[in-house]
Amino acid sequence: MRVVLVSSRSFAHVLKVGEELLANAGFKVKRVSAAERPLDAAKLAKIVKRERPHALICGAEPITAEVLRASDNLRLVMKHGVGVDNIDIEFATAMGVLVANTPDTNTEAVADLTIGLMLVLLRKICEANVATHLGRWEPFIGHELGTMKVGVVGTGRIGGGVIKRLSAFDSEILAYDVNPRQDLASKYGVHYVSLEELLAVSDIVTLHVPLTKETKNMIGPRELDLMKRNACLINVARGEIVDEKALYDRLRSKRIAAAALDVFAKEPPRANPLLQLDNVILTPHIGAYTYEAIERMDRLCASIIVEVFNGKQPPYILNPKV
């Protein structure tokens, strides 16, 4: 019987549709236990060596060469999500291991969260909630999203979803992308500008680029210093896109007004100094955590695995030459 090892925290954790699809197709599903977490590459490699899976469903844990060579049965690494910066695709390809992900399954969820974080920051919802629970009854005066100039960095699926939602608020939308989308410019009046101009004039800057060599620390000291003092930064993409130390320094000194972060360079961020600041909203990487998105991801993960082992070529294989 073929074995599917699940190191992802979220696959089949809330809903069972993916696990049931695999079981019905004759796969044995094994999960990394809570006692074995948190996972690093060495720990995961030992588990993979022990279980000898044919497929691995992973989350954000590192899928390194050490992990990939730990099972001679391994044929497929299936990302329960979109970003694959944690997977050594080049080594997987050299090993003859397929890598796949689940794009467009969490677009709506992440775009919704982005707009939610904007509203939380602008309307001071967290502060108002805490104050009211403490028995204080006082006005919290904020801003309307429709009056804001919003800069969207990265206009792929999720960035495009954010732009679609912003258009309903009548916000002025600026964008930066190495591959501008004419459809967004014509349909929603998006004005593409340089990254420097976007940072300098936007009231809200929201990040939606993948983590690559080019985007790592793309928002560093110089970029943060270009931002307006009353500006807010939102990051629901990857923590390493932002220089967290530089961000901490500028939030602490009020060089920029506020931030909302769903992602961190190291997760969970237990020792991160950003946790000590009161002008940053922090959430535990929940961008894709809606029942609807999880069902779509679970179902697609399972169906790709089944198709691969049935000799078919499913969509979303990232190294199809294997």
Within this chain, do residues 256 and 119 fall inside the same structural domain, yes or no? yes
The catalytic residue among 157, 250, 285, 296 is 285
pLDDT computed for residue 97 by the predictor: 98
The catalytic residue among 54, 80, 157, 238 is 238
pLDDT tens digit string along 4-58? 999 998 898 889 999 999 999 999 999 999 999 989 999 999 999 999 999 999 9
pLDDT computed for residue 256 by the predictor: 98
Residue at 314 is within a domain? no
The catalytic residue among 127, 267, 295, 307 is 267
pLDDT computed for residue 211 by the predictor: 94
pLDDT tens digit string along 253-305? 999 999 999 999 998 899 999 999 999 999 999 999 999 999 999 999 999 99
Within this chain, do residues 25 and 114 fall inside the same structural domain, yes or no? no
Within this chain, do residues 164 and 272 fall inside the same structural domain, yes or no? yes
Residue at 318 is within a domain? no
pLDDT computed for residue 188 by the predictor: 98
- Residue 10 · residue 80 · CB < 8 Å: yes
Mean pLDDT calculated for residue range 191-209: 98
Which pTM value belongs to this model?
0.91
- How far lies 119's CA from each of 91, 126, 146, 303, in Å? 42, 10, 11, 37
pLDDT tens digit string along 157-179? 999 999 999 999 999 999 999 99
Residue at 317 is within a domain? no
Residue 42 structural domain:
3-103+290-309
- How far lies 321's CA from each of 54, 75, 311, in Å? 19, 13, 15
Number of other CB atoms surrounding residue 50 within 10 Å = 12
Residue 113: strand, helix, or coil = helix
Mean pLDDT calculated for residue range 115-135: 97
pLDDT tens digit string along 79-97? 999 999 999 999 999 999 9
Is 80 in the active site?
no
Mean pLDDT calculated for residue range 302-317: 96
Number of domains in the chain: 2
Is 54 in the active site?
no
Within this chain, do residues 123 and 200 fall inside the same structural domain, yes or no? yes
Closest Cα to residue 166, out of 140, 184, 180, 141? 184
pLDDT computed for residue 310 by the predictor: 96
Residue at 320 is within a domain? no
pLDDT computed for residue 184 by the predictor: 98
Is 285 in the active site?
yes
